[in-house]
Amino acid sequence: MTTPLFLALALALSAVTVLPAQTPGAPPFDAMKSLDLTEAQRQSIRTILEGRRAATMAKRGTLGTREMALMEAMTEPATTEARLRELHEAASEARLVMLLDERGVLLELQAVLTSAQQAKAKEQRQKLRAAMEDHRAAMDALGGEGLGGPHRP
């Protein structure tokens, strides 16, 4: 499913969509604390997230249901290729809808940040990506699958 889930600003802000599991009004996640948000920015972010929460959760539920149907159908010998293609298309469409929703949230949240905060978030995102790649490389060296499966350049 979505990584509720979702890399400093893009990742940190996309992680904002995970907030439904958090207590309403809880302080921003650790990744955003270093951005030195003003109280007005925090409130704007809360308002954006709370306004989108129900729709985001519904989209996430649809995605989960469709991906689960695809996974279950794959294990059934009687499932035809045509049916698998239908289920895959439905799951892919739900994933795209979820990604577009997350992108919409990101764009709204980025508009709240100053250019200096956006630059800092970009730097954090680059560091997080590098750390993820390091982890992936370490897992590959050990014969593991790392994050998200085998890494294939």
Q: What phi and psi, each to the nearest 5 degrees, are found at residue 144?
A: -90, -175
pTM of the model: 0.65
Q: Could you read off the pLDDT of 106-123 as tens digits, one per residue?
A: 899 999 999 999 999 889
Q: Could you read off the pLDDT of 12-60 as tens digits, one per residue?
A: 444 443 334 444 443 345 567 788 899 999 999 999 999 999 999 999 9
**Domain total of the chain:** 1
| Residue 133 covered by a domain | no
| Residue 110 covered by a domain | yes
d(CA 29, CA 110): 15
| Residue 121 covered by a domain | no
| Residue 95 covered by a domain | yes
| Residue 2 covered by a domain | no
* Domain hosting residue 88, numbered range: 8-21+37-114
| Residue 137 covered by a domain | no
Render the burial of 74-83: b for 16+ CB within 10 Å, e for the rest.
eeeeeeeeee
CB 109 within 8 A of CB 10: no
| Residue 91 covered by a domain | yes
